[in-house]
Amino acid sequence: MQLSSDKMLLTVVLILVGFGIIMVYSTSGVYASAEGNEHYFLLRHVFSILLGTTAMLIVSMIPYRVYRRPTLILPLLFLAIALLVLTLIPGIGAKINNARRWLPLGSVRTFQPSELAKLILILYFSAYMVKKQDKIRSFTFTVIPSLIILGIFFCLVVVQPDLGTAINLIALIIPLMFIAGVRISHLVGVFLVVSPIIGAIAWTNPYQKMR
């Protein structure tokens, strides 16, 4: 019997989650034992999975058209920008290993806004590309506004500094734009311009050199 796409996706997710649990336990047990509890990282990972599963179930019950509403997506976009800015403010953002990527949650835990930004950017650009379908092949009316938004997020993440996540943001959105119907020539042009910029950042930034 052929699996439906939903069941196939669920199967793949469960396999990846199971593999992740095994890897977390096998690679962190010794270090966790030194901290007094060999299951510490395993339990924390399982808790994160349960939290993510709960969020997934809640989100899945919301009609997808809701996420296209400007009254929802625009506030989320500004929220993501505000959180990224907060990480850069001394006394608010948590500085760890010479990087300001986190916001403190209590005295122990931290929150990384760039991870939330990934999700919000996917929602925003999905809604934006649907709205711009009549001008999807226009560089002026579709690509340039998209690059401005993506550029803001890219810069805010790069200065944390977190070049890897900044590149991930681009890697998430460019394929989305391609699937939406943006001209390949436009995307290739963007790639040719952005690649040297990323290379220059990686070459000149002392933090990236140290990494």
Total number of domains constituting the chain: 2
Tell me the three state secondary structure of residue 196: helix
- Return the percent helix, strand and coil in the chain, to nearest 5: 75, 5, 15
This prediction has a pTM of 0.80
Domain boundary among 61, 83, 113: 61
In this structure, are 35 and 85 located in the same domain? no
Q: Tell whether 124 and 146 lie within a shared domain.
A: yes
Domain that holds residue 90: 73-210
Residues 52 and 89 grouped into a single domain: no
Angle at the Cα of 54 from the Cα atoms of 52 and 55, rounded to 5 degrees = 65
Determine the 3-state secondary structure of 15 from DSSP: helix
Q: Do residues 120 and 146 share a domain?
A: yes
CA-to-CA distance for 203 and 137, rounded, in angstroms?
A: 34
Answer yes or no: do 50 and 148 share one domain: no
Among 37, 61, 85, give the residue marking a domain's end.
Answer: 61
Contact 21, 27 (CB under 8 A): no
Peptide bond into 206 cis (omega under 30): no
| One domain, residues 82 and 146 | yes
Residues 132 and 188 in one domain: yes
Q: What is the pLDDT along the chain (211 residues), one digit of tens a residue?
A: 445 667 888 888 889 999 988 888 888 766 766 667 778 788 888 998 999 889 888 888 888 888 888 899 999 999 999 999 999 998 898 888 888 899 988 766 788 999 999 999 999 999 999 999 999 999 999 999 999 999 999 999 999 989 999 999 999 999 999 999 999 999 999 999 999 999 998 888 776 666 6
Residue 103 bridge partners (DSSP): 111
